[in-house]
Amino acid sequence: MTNPYLAEWTTEFNLPPFADLKDEDVKPAVEAALSDGRAAIKAIADNPEAPTFANTIEALEKADATLSKVLGAFYGMAGADTNDTRDALMREFSPMLSAYSSEITANAALFQRIETLWQERENLDLTDEQQRVLMLTRRSFVRSGAKLEGADKDRMAEIKSRLATLGTQFSQNLLADEREWFMELSEDDLEGLPQFVVDAARSAGEEKGAKGPVVTLSRSLITPFLQFSPRRDLREKAFRAWAARGENGNANDNREIAREILELREERARLLGYENFAAYKLETEMAKTPEHVRDLLMRVWAPAKEAAERDAAILSKMMAEDGVNGDLAPWDWRYYSGKRRKAEHDLDEAELKPYLQLDRMIEAAFTCANRLFGLEFEPLDVTTYHPDARAWNVTRNGKHMAVFIGDYFARGSKRSGAWCTAMRSQQKLEGDIRPIVLNVCNFAKPSKGEAALLSYDDARTLFHEFGHALHQMLSDVTYDSISGTSVARDFVELPSQLYEHWLEVPEVLEEFATHAVTGAPMPRDMLERLLAAQTYDQGFATVEYVSSALVDLEFHDGPAPKDPMKAQAEILAKIGMPKAITMRHATPHFAHIFSGDGYSSGYYSYMWSEVMDADAFEAFEETSPFDPVMAKRLEDNILSKGGSEDAEALYTAFRGRMPGVEALLKGRGLVAAE
């Protein structure tokens, strides 16, 4: 029987036949796909005909069709629903895949063909998109070491393979530390916690096989616990466990892994002729240089720190009034900040929560996409990889645009955080291929028969990931390699962060924020308080984030630190990190920059994108949030374009100019709006 991973998928929309995909089939499928890929690459490199765009670049685009198909389905599932077998497979695949891609970029005959095309590019009569794909292909070969020879070349392959292994190890250690720890709560310990936190703690207790409710290190449980529990001792214990992920001196310790990763990255950059890893990494970004990044971060740091220090003084006073001796500590901030928010904005998360139902928020995200881009969403009755994951057929004017899968609830088998991934990307080279797009979140699962309720942050996460999904679903390019979210890292968060703004449009909340029990819409004054509260505590949030981004940048801009923990402490001391705030992601659990290369020297990019999203949404505010002309400009110049043009050119085409930092500072309430 044919391996179901490799067979032609005759399902509706050629979805992976999830029910037939067995873990034991994955490895043989990957091996077969790799051997197909190798044969295709060899045929391109050995082709006796002179290189053409079609027989070289387009052939390369097609070479990994089987591999993409198998890995798209497998990694899409494994990220959201892993087990020991899948963990082991991922550990085994990462060096295999890294070796395979090194083999391709180290193929001298192949690179020679690309180089020839590059030299002749002016005479090849290429479309703009083809020119761009040629430039990107050649650049990625050069950056992978295609021009290296001899010992340097071997060393580069070794470094890449070792980095891939270390990255996987880093995530698995982190997940293991997150899974292992929980804190049992007695009935007395539940005092002061709103019902939704109690429910989440009980359901987590059941999942852990504990006798009663527990707090786990899942962000959707620990964050509200830190916010609501009046028990300072329990908050401290939970916070310390949260902050110590990856740093417990057990088998999951990530500190030595982080050190080795930084050292290897520097060596890699130097082999390629760059001064350091940041210089290498930022070359392909919209920011271009470490100086531009540092400049942006420091312009935001100063007003953020001032705001956080003003807030810390107020919270310290509240704590003293509570009769607590000592300094405001990181495990106190969320608790007193929540109380202050209630006092100043009278916004009670617990009161708010029944109005934010998961299903209504999904509907809200869909409806905004319908009003802006004409997309329609029809539930699909298909078996996915997990009973909690739901699928929709996405159409426009009757034309199929994408399959969208939403997998929203937390579970032990899912890695933490929220993300968007495509099991298949849009492209037109091999027919009109439409994407399969996944949004995965970690919202607390409700008890049986209850409606799933979100915090406002959860709802924003839902809109954020859906913005990434739109970037995939509206993609309209020819080549897979530049499809959808295949753009510069500091540009990729623009569509997602921009989409969050539609959640803040009052008419959207008016329609979709309805009470789970009574069905009544959110009272007008609550809605106004909610929106006014959005700039609340932004000093804290910005300090948490910018400190992480600066540590990431300094780690990579210069020689690799011998002792990253010491270097981290020095960087924080230098910028004057407020005592009661910690980095959003400290080194031993900074998965963004250590689980892979994705955000290394690139964590700043969320803020870079925020500069743009604040500025871009202003374009809608100048007319109307659902202005069809502006929506079309957004789709035509950004959402449909993938990486087919330079990010700066795309943004300028949409907005007519580049943005400054002012709209962001205003949006975060860090400077007064005029």
Q: Give the rounded distance of the alpha carbon of 94 from its chain centre.
A: 20
Nearer to Zn ion, 496 or 582 (CB): 496
496 contributes a contact to Zn ion by CB under 5 A: yes
Residue 389 pairs in a beta bridge with 407
Determine the interface stretch with Zn ion among 452-460, 494-502, 549-557, 573-581 (rule: CB under 5 A): 494-502
Chain positions 624 to 653 lying near Zn ion, rule: CB under 5 A, are none
| The two three-digit tokens of residue 396, written as one number | 């426009």
Q: In whole angstroms, what is the distance from residue 415 CA to residue 408 CA?
A: 12
Give catalytic status of residue 465 as yes or no.
Answer: yes
CA distance 390 to 423: 15
Residue with Cβ nearer Zn ion (221 or 420): 420
Tell me the closest approach of the beta carbon of residue 617 to Zn ion, in angstroms.
16
3-class SS of residue 187: coil
Q: How far is the CB of 40 from Zn ion (least distance, A)?
A: 33
Q: How far is the CB of 670 from Zn ion (least distance, A)?
A: 22
Calculate the alpha carbon distances from 216 to 45, 226, 412 in Å.
53, 12, 10
Q: What is the nearest approach in angstroms of Zn ion to the Cβ of residue 489?
A: 11
Residues facing residue 377 across a β-bridge = 394
Shortest separation between residue 220's beta carbon and Zn ion, angstroms: 17
Instruction: Determine which one of 178, 247, 465, 610 is catalytic.
Output: 465
Which residues have a Cβ under 8 Å from the Cβ of 314 and sit 6 or more positions away? 340
Shortest separation between residue 603's beta carbon and Zn ion, angstroms:
12
The residue of the chain with the least Cβ separation from Zn ion equals 496
Residues 564 to 583 in contact with Zn ion, rule: CB under 5 A:
none
Window of 28-36, 265-273, 495-503, 637-645 that interacts with Zn ion by CB under 5 A: 495-503
Separation of alpha carbons 574 and 305, rounded Å: 13
Contacts of 174 (CB under 8 A, 6+ apart): 245, 246, 252, 254, 589, 591, 595
Distance CA 225, CA 58 (A): 53
Closer residue to Zn ion, CB minimum distance, 496 or 600: 496
Closest approach of Zn ion to the CB of residue 582, in Å: 22
Comparison of 496 and 547: residue with beta carbon closer to Zn ion: 496
Stretch that binds Zn ion, among 202-210, 293-301, 429-437, 492-500 (CB under 5 A): 492-500
Contacts with Zn ion: how many residues (CB under 5 A)? 2
Pick between residue 61 and residue 493 the one whose CB is nearest to Zn ion.
493
Query: Following DSSP, what letter does each residue of 312-323 receive, concatenated?
Result: HHHHHHHHHHTT
Q: Which two tokens stand for residue 47?
A: 């082709």
Q: What is the largest CA-CA distance in the chain?
A: 83
- DSSP letters spanning 41-95: HHHHHH-SSPP-IIIIIIHHHHHTHHHHHHHHHHHHHHHHS--HHHHHHHHHHHH
What does DSSP assign to residue 521?
A: B
Q: Which stretch binds Zn ion (CB under 5 A): 71-79, 204-212, 493-501, 586-594?
A: 493-501
Q: Which stretch binds Zn ion (CB under 5 A): 110-118, 395-403, 485-493, 627-635?
A: 485-493
Q: Which is nearer to Zn ion, 307 or 616 (CB)?
A: 616
Question: Least Å distance between CB 606 and Zn ion?
Answer: 7
Contact between 133 and 479 under an 8 Å Cβ cutoff? The reply is: yes
Task: Choose between 558 and 598: whose C-beta lies nearer to Zn ion.
Answer: 598
Map 9-55 to HEC letters: CCCHHHCCCHHHCCHHHHHHHHHHHHHHHHHHHHHHHHCCCCCCHHH
Both tokens of residue 276?
């350091």
Residue 485 near Zn ion by CB under 5 A: no
196 vs 463 by CB, closer to Zn ion: 463
Candidate segments 54-62, 86-94, 292-300, 496-504, binder of Zn ion by CB under 5 A: 496-504
We find the least distance from the C-beta atom of residue 496 to Zn ion, in angstroms, to be 4
443, 458 Cβ separation under 8 angstroms: yes
Q: Nearer Cβ to Zn ion, position 496 or 587? A: 496
227 binds Zn ion (CB under 5 A): no
- Looking at 268-276, 421-429, 432-440, 490-498, which segment touches Zn ion (CB under 5 A)? 490-498
Classified as helix, coil or strand, 196 is: helix
The number of beta carbons lying within 10 Å of the beta carbon of residue 139 is 13
Q: Which residue has the tokens 């969403």?
A: 377
Catalytic residues: 465
Give residues in contact with Zn ion (CB under 5 A). Answer: 493, 496
